[in-house]
């Protein structure tokens, strides 16, 4: 079966984010960019399913600038078979992304879409669920375990206070949470091989989808800074300070 | 405008997250209704009717609602939205699972995890794990919003809204609930706890985490949290994780033990009222945001702290 894995190029999660002085956004110039960590987990899961013989083909799709090709190459080096880049310099909202991905699904006809639960830039946690609704497919979000058999996915989900297990009929959308797996590092031979794997470059216009924004960013600001506190010398002094602060 | 709040509840009572979401909804409009969808949820619906400021409670019954199945929630809410201009969910696992599905069905851009209502179409929300705040204005006629509950005070009680039954459609055949493992604990729930004690990688083992962090948490009546490093190392389960990729907490007291303070952890707890850090490395970044820092090895500091707390009557 075929799996589609959407991947997003985002600011590397180890980079300290800086807000631009003119409040129009965060500074992305000369900043290290990487694949969104949750997308990496989704790619890894797809590759493991392929290694188990459950999956026959993995298609990695990214929507973003020309440099998002590098993100797709990372997925190809991890084990995806081919890539699709829908090239745009616009920062699309999850609704537009979900509509584009729905159009890709119509062309590719995958039985499973495996994707990250959220991107660490916009922190929306929305695209997978929206895609599922637009396609009329079942969803299993925040997955920490995925088993595929008999046209169904049995997914253990991270919910508040514990775990929930759902069985969803394929085709379905599964979004990956942190504990699903630990993504591999691509080996040098696989990185070389990935350079020869095909990437189809498309534009948003190719899909006949309305991607116009619904949200206007009025400003982006730094969160209020926490004033630094004091050092205490002992546990005794600490308890005294906590009493003074009224939290004991 | 009329606003619908989707209640978080356990059928018997409404969770605090619901009261907080009602507060956010009242900042949009004074016409706020609450939807209680559950199984045998009459008591929760009655409790929701008692939340101050609520106009009306809609009560729907169905097994799929009890399990928070997003497809069922979508099927219930989308037709109801003919009567509402906005729907608000608490940004919990259940709310985040269902809200975008409702938004897509209504062809609107969802607005995730708002922490401030500027006006009925303008909101402030954290991006980049709270390292930046964006103020956004929506042009959608209907709004689908999730609410970061730690940013809003809980609406009080004393209301006397009416409860109206609403009928739900047939559940989706494509999703089957197979089971749930909810961790049973006498400790408060991490997300809403007034006090949190978290341990980091310095613990060195799951046993040490269990033997050091949990007794201190119990002494303080606190929930237990952990840094991602401690979770990754297998010292603590994932649902203990506080941070960008885990839970965001804002308790009155947050005690970080053996946590260095990686950006991703700070993002999950920096809005706590009072932060205590215990770490033997005086240069650890956690001290830059801690109200009270104790530079000491946790191995001696935590037992001493336990002793001092006992002296203080805890």
What digits encode the pLDDT tens for the residues B161-206? 999 999 988 778 899 999 998 877 889 888 889 999 999 999 999 9
| Residue with the two structure tokens 């080096």 | A77
Give B163-204 as a DSSP string.
Answer: EEE----PPPTTEEEEEEEEPP-SSPPGGG-SEEEEE-GGG-
Chain B residue with the nearest C-alpha to that of A14: B263
| Residue with the two structure tokens 């999660």 | A13
What's residue A14's pLDDT? Answer: 83
What's residue B264's pLDDT? Answer: 82
Q: Are B100 and A122 in contact (CB < 8 Å)?
A: no
Q: What is the pLDDT of residues A138-147, one digit of tens each?
A: 999 999 999 9
For residue A216, the 8-state DSSP code is E
What's residue B18's pLDDT? Answer: 97
Chain B residue with the nearest C-alpha to that of A229: B291
pLDDT band at A11 (very low <50, low <70, confident <90, very high): very high
Residues from chain A contacting residue B305 (CB–CB below 8 Å): 235, 238-239
More confident residue, A182 or B144: B144
| pTM of the predicted protein model | 0.92
What's residue A180's pLDDT? Answer: 93
CA distances from A128 to A132, A138, B301 (A): 6, 11, 45
CA distances from A202 to A39, A67, A206 (A): 21, 14, 7
Report d(CA A128, CA A175) in Å as an integer. Answer: 6
With 80 as the cut, is the pLDDT of residue B139 above it? yes
Q: Are B290 and A229 in contact (CB < 8 Å)?
A: yes
Q: What is the pLDDT of residues B256-285, one digit of tens each?
A: 999 999 888 998 999 899 999 999 999 999
A227: closest CA of chain B, how far (Å): 7
Q: Which residues of B251-281 are buried (b: 16+ CB within 10 A; e: fewer)?
A: bebbbbbbbbbbbbbbbbbbbbebbbbbbee
Report d(CA B124, CA B142) in Å as an integer. Answer: 18
Report d(CA A137, CA A102) in Å as an integer. Answer: 11
Q: Are B312 and A247 in contact (CB < 8 Å)?
A: no
Q: What is the pLDDT of residues A179-205, one digit of tens each?
A: 899 999 999 999 999 999 999 999 999
Report d(CA A237, CA B305) in Å as an integer. Answer: 10
Show the tokens assigned to B306: 């336990």
Task: Give me the sign of the Cα torsion angle B203, B207, B212, B215.
Answer: positive
pLDDT over 70 percentage in chain A = 100
What is the number of residues in chain A?
Answer: 248
Cβ(B194)–Cβ(B253) below 8 Å: yes
Report d(CA B20, CA B37) in Å as an integer. Answer: 18
Of B128, B89, B144, B305, the closest CA to residue A239 belongs to B305
A122: closest CA of chain B, how far (Å): 5
SS (H, E, C) B194-228: CEEEEECHHHCCHHHHHHHHHHHHHHHCCEEEECH
Across chain A, what does the average pLDDT equal?
96
What's residue B301's pLDDT? Answer: 97
- What would the mean pLDDT of B57-85 be, rounded to a whole number? 95
Residues from chain A contacting residue B180 (CB–CB below 8 Å): 159, 162-165
Show the tokens assigned to B6: 């989707």
Q: What is the pLDDT of residues A48-106, one digit of tens each?
A: 999 999 999 999 999 999 999 999 999 999 999 999 999 999 999 999 999 999 999 99
Report d(CA A147, CA A127) in Å as an integer. Answer: 22
Cis-peptide, bond into residue A171, ω within 30° of zero: yes
pLDDT over 90 percentage in chain B = 83
- What would the mean pLDDT of A2-28 be, rounded to a whole number? 94
Q: What is the pLDDT of residues A16-43, one digit of tens each?
A: 899 999 999 999 999 999 999 999 999 9
Q: Are A164 and B179 in contact (CB < 8 Å)?
A: yes
A14: closest CA of chain B, how far (Å): 8
Report d(CA B86, CA B82) in Å as an integer. Answer: 10
Residues from chain A contacting residue B100 (CB–CB below 8 Å): 94, 124-130, 133
What's residue A161's pLDDT? Answer: 78
What's residue A1's pLDDT? Answer: 96
Q: What are phi and psi of A222, to 5 degrees?
A: -80, 145
With 80 as the cut, is the pLDDT of residue A228 above it? no
Pick B138's closest partner by Cβ from A16, A121, A214: A214
What's residue B192's pLDDT? Answer: 81
Q: What is the pLDDT of residues B193-249, one digit of tens each?
A: 999 999 999 999 999 999 999 999 999 999 999 999 999 899 998 889 998 778 889
């Amino acid at each position: 079966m075929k799996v589609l894995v959407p991947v997003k190029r985002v600011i590397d999660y180890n980079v300290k984010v800086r807000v631009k002085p003119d409040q129009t956004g965060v500074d992305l110039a000369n900043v290290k960019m990487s694949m969104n960590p949750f997308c990496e987990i989704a790619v890894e899961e797809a590759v493991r399913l392929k290694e188990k013989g459950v999956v026959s083909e993995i298609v990695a799709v990214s929507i973003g600038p020309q440099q998002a090709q590098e993100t797709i190459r990372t997925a190809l080096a991890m084990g995806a078979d081919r890539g699709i880049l829908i090239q745009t310099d616009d920062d699309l909202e999850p609704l537009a992304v979900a509509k584009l991905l729905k159009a890709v699904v119509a062309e590719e006809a995958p039985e499973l879409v495996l994707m990250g639960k959220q991107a660490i830039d916009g922190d929306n946690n929305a695209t997978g669920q929206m895609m599922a609704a637009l396609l009329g497919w079942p969803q299993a979000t925040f997955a920490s375990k995925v088993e595929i058999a008999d046209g169904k996915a049995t997914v253990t989900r991270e919910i508040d206070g514990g775990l929930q297990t759902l069985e969803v009929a394929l085709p379905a959308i599964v979004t990956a949470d942190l504990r699903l797996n630990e993504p591999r590092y691509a080996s040098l031979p696989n990185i070389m091989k990935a350079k020869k794997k095909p990437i189809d470059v498309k534009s948003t216009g190719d899909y006949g989808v309305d991607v116009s924004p619904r949200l206007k960013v009025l400003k982006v600001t730094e969160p209020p800074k926490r004033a630094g506190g004091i050092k205490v010398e002992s546990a005794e002094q600490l308890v005294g300070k906590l009493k003074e602060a009224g939290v004991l | 405008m009329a606003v619908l709040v989707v209640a978080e509840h356990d059928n018997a009572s409404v969770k605090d997250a619901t009261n907080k979401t009602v507060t956010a909804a009242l900042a949009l409009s004074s016409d706020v209704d609450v939807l209680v969808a559950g199984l045998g949820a009459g008591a929760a619906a009655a409790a929701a009717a008692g939340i101050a400021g609520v106009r009306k409670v809609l009560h729907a019954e169905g097994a799929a609602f009890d399990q928070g199945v997003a497809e069922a929630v979508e099927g219930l809410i989308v037709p109801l939205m003919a009567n509402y201009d906005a729907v608000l969910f608490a940004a919990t696992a259940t709310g985040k699972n269902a809200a975008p599905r409702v938004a897509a069905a209504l062809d609107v851009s969802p607005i995730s995890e708002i922490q401030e209502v500027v006006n009925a179409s303008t909101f402030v929300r954290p991006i980049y794990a709270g390292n930046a705040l964006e103020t956004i204005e929506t042009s959608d006629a209907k709004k689908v919003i999730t609410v970061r509950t730690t940013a809003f005070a809980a609406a009080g009680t004393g209301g006397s809204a009416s409860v109206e039954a609403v009928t739900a459609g047939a559940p989706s055949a494509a999703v089957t609930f197979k089971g749930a493992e909810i961790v049973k604990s006498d400790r408060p729930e991490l997300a809403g706890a007034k006090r949190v004690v978290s341990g980091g990688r310095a613990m060195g083992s799951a046993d040490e985490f269990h033997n050091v962090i949990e007794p201190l948490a119990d002494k303080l009546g606190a929930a237990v949290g952990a840094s991602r490093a401690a979770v990754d190392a297998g010292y603590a389960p994932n649902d203990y994780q506080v941070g960008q990729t885990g839970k965001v907490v804002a308790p009155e007291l947050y005690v970080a033990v053996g946590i260095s303070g990686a950006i991703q952890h700070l993002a999950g707890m920096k809005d706590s009222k009072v932060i205590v850090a215990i770490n033997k490395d005086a240069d650890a970044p956690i001290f830059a945001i801690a109200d009270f820092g104790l530079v000491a090895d946790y191995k001696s500091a935590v037992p001493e702290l336990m002793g001092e707390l006992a002296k203080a009557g805890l």
